[in-house]
């Protein structure tokens, strides 16, 4: 049963062929066996999950209608507010924070009758590329437990890859869904900025953050998008459906795009590891056989994406994280001498190193005298990158490039070199700066049998096209069927 996709499981449950309670029990049995090694979850909610699963089975048995994800066990990244369990953002500062409401994306999963099994580990406040910045737990890569699962949605990606849930929600500010999806050999989709409500998502870089699915197949990602996409009056940056209608992403999924042109940026992709480049060219060959025409596009400002991103994201983070002051939320220092110490000691004691580094960088970039030189300049670069995408999309339907320059790296390999860590986002960050959607799909393995991801990007709100292009590849290949071999499985 664990081998099924979320869609297959959903269909089986809806038809009364499979019991959700059995599927949920099977997931918890795997969590019992493998979670001690993988470390994907910060918390699980077994009682609630089993209760909801039994309720779905009961409703189906009595012929009542159920939602589109009825009975399917899923995971949620721990930066989305939930009324059940804690919402920690993997930070000591929020270790005991219990949210008074559910994030809209979580609310939509529940309304679709999904069974939420737990909250997934992540880099603290989603800052990182390896989940090593979690202040609470280490997650490992199910393909090689000496390696990182990627980040910051590393818990979500590892849980999907290790079959500790059928699909998961992650969030992506600069690559945090796509990069861990690539490292763990699963599908990860970052929607257009504004497509999915951010209400109840703990803010990191508000103009970049977006919630999206991690799943076993492109079809499952489409199913998840059907549930979470759409306008939300509680999030003023979510786009209304008159401007950008949400479509049924599953309905036309199997209709190939024909003819279609793929844009590539050769000099940019040249920075990737040889094996990653090889996998990418092989993927292009498959698309060519499927009728695609490959054209080279020029995107002159991509080289500045990392620099602009780390100014904008840290500036926004420094402002967003000001709320953790020892008064409103979370950790408060014991026995402060005055109110200044309440602020400074609470923050000093409970924020991790990377979070502190980013608050300092962002505060510096926003400080008077430097604002124009750094923040304003970064915003101008962001606009140029956006124009690069618009110009490129006049010549092609989608852009393809690697997701990350390498496959999963060793735990500890980059923790002491933040710049090296930042470089692992080189291919993913531009989509966040421009607001366009991007997907990572499994497209190969390196000589250590570690997964490699292919990244596809389309114009804003063209998630339907993005999913269809990804699906064309998935139907031709078996990479998404490969599974990590877990010890004692
Ligand atoms: N790795 C990038 C960062 O550290 C992106 C993280 C993310 O997308 N949340 O900022």
Residue 488, pLDDT > 90, answer no
Catalytic residue among 130, 152, 153, 171: 152
pLDDT at 270: 82
Catalytic residue among 176, 238, 318, 424: 176
Q: What's the chain's average pLDDT?
A: 96
Residue 440 lies in a domain: no
Residue 489, pLDDT > 80, answer no
Residue 289 lies in a domain: no
CA of 173 to the centre of ligand 1 (A): 5
380 is catalytic: no
Alpha helices in 197-304 (DSSP H): 218-228, 266-269, 274-289
Domain count, the chain: 1
Residue 333 lies in a domain: no
CATH number, domain with residue 124: 3.90.1300.10
Residue 85 lies in domain:
6-260+460-481
Residue 94, pLDDT > 80, answer yes
152 is catalytic: yes
Residue 335 lies in a domain: no
Distance CA 407, CA 395 (A): 30
Residue 366 lies in a domain: no
77 is catalytic: yes
Residue 31, pLDDT > 90, answer yes
Nearest to 458 by CA among 400, 409, 405: 400
CB 176 within 8 A of CB 205: no
Residues with CB under 6 A from ligand 1: 126-129, 152, 172-176, 204, 313, 425
Q: Which atom of ligand 1 is nearest to the CA of 171?
A: 9
Residue 156 lies in a domain: yes
In tens, the pLDDT along 7-26 reads: 999 999 999 999 999 999 99
CA of 436 to the centre of ligand 1 (A): 16
Residue 336 lies in a domain: no
pLDDT above 90 coverage of the chain, percent = 94
pLDDT at 391: 98
Mean pLDDT for the stretch of residues 352-381: 95
CA of 22 to the centre of ligand 1 (A): 36
Residue 465, pLDDT > 80, answer yes
Query: Whose CA is closest to atom 4 on ligand 1?
Result: 128
For helices 104-111 and 218-228, the axis angle rounded to 10 degrees is: 110
Q: Which atom of ligand 1 is nearest to the CA of 151?
A: 1
CA of 172 to the centre of ligand 1 (A): 7
Q: Which atom of ligand 1 is nearest to the CA of 429?
A: 5
Catalytic residue among 7, 77, 119, 190: 77
Residue 205 lies in a domain: yes
Q: Which atom of ligand 1 is nearest to the CA of 208?
A: 8
Cα separations (Å) of 176 from 183, 403, 439?
11, 11, 11
Judge if pTM exceeds 0.95. yes
Distance CA 187, CA 137 (A): 24
Residue 92, pLDDT > 90, answer yes
């Amino acid at each position: 049963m664990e081998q099924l996709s979320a869609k297959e499981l959903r269909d089986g449950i809806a038809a009364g062929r499979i019991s959700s309670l059995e599927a949920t029990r099977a997931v918890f049995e795997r969590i019992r066996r493998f979670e001690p090694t993988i470390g994907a979850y910060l918390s699980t909610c077994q009682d609630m999950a089993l209760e909801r699963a039994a309720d779905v089975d009961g409703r189906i048995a009595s012929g009542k209608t159920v939602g589109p994800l009825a009975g399917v066990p899923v995971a949620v990244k721990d930066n989305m507010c939930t009324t059940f369990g804690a919402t920690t953002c993997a930070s000591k500062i929020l270790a005991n924070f219990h949210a008074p409401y559910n994030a809209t994306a979580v609310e939509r999963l529940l309304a679709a009758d999904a069974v939420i099994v737990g909250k997934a580990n992540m880099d603290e406040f989603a800052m990182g590329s390896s989940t090593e910045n979690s202040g609470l737990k280490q997650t490992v890569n199910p393909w090689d437990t000496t390696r990182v699962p990627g980040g910051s949605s590393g818990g979500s990606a590892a849980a999907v890859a290790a079959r500790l849930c059928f699909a998961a929600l992650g969030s992506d500010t600069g690559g945090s869904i796509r990069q861990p999806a690539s490292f763990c050999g699963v599908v990860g989709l970052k929607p257009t900025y504004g497509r999915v409500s951010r209400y109840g998502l703990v803010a990191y870089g508000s103009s970049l953050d977006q919630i999206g699915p991690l799943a076993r197949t492109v079809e499952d990602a489409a199913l998840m998008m059907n549930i979470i996409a759409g306008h939300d009056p509680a999030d003023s940056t979510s786009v209304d459906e008159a401007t950008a209608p949400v479509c049924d992403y599953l309905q036309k999924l199997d209709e190939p795009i024909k003819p279609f042109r793929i844009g590539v940026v050769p000099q940019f992709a040249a920075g990737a590891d040889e094996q990653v480049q090889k996998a990418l060219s092989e993927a292009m060959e498959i698309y060519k056989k499927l009728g695609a025409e490959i054209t080279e596009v020029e995107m002159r400002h991509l080289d500045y994406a990392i620099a602009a991103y780390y100014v904008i994201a840290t500036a926004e983070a420094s402002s967003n994280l000001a709320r953790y002051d020892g008064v409103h939320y979370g950790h408060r220092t014991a026995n402060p001498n005055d109110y200044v110490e309440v602020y400074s000691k609470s923050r000093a004691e409970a924020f991790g190193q990377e979070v502190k580094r980013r608050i300092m960088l962002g505060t510096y970039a926003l400080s008077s005298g430097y604002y124009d030189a750094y923040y304003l300049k970064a915003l101008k670069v962001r606009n140029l990158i956006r124009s690069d995408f618009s110009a490129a999309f006049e010549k092609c339907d989608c852009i393809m490039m690697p997701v990350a320059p390498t496959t999963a790296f060793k735990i500890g390999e980059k923790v002491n070199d933040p710049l090296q860590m930042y470089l692992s986002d080189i291919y993913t960050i531009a989509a966040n700066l421009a607001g366009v959607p991007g997907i990572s799909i499994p497209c190969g393995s390196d000589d250590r049998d570690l997964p490699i991801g292919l990244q596809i990007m389309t114009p804003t709100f063209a998630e339907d096209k993005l999913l269809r292009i990804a699906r064309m590849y998935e139907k031709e290949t078996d990479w998404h069927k490969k599974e990590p071999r877990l010890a004692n499985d």
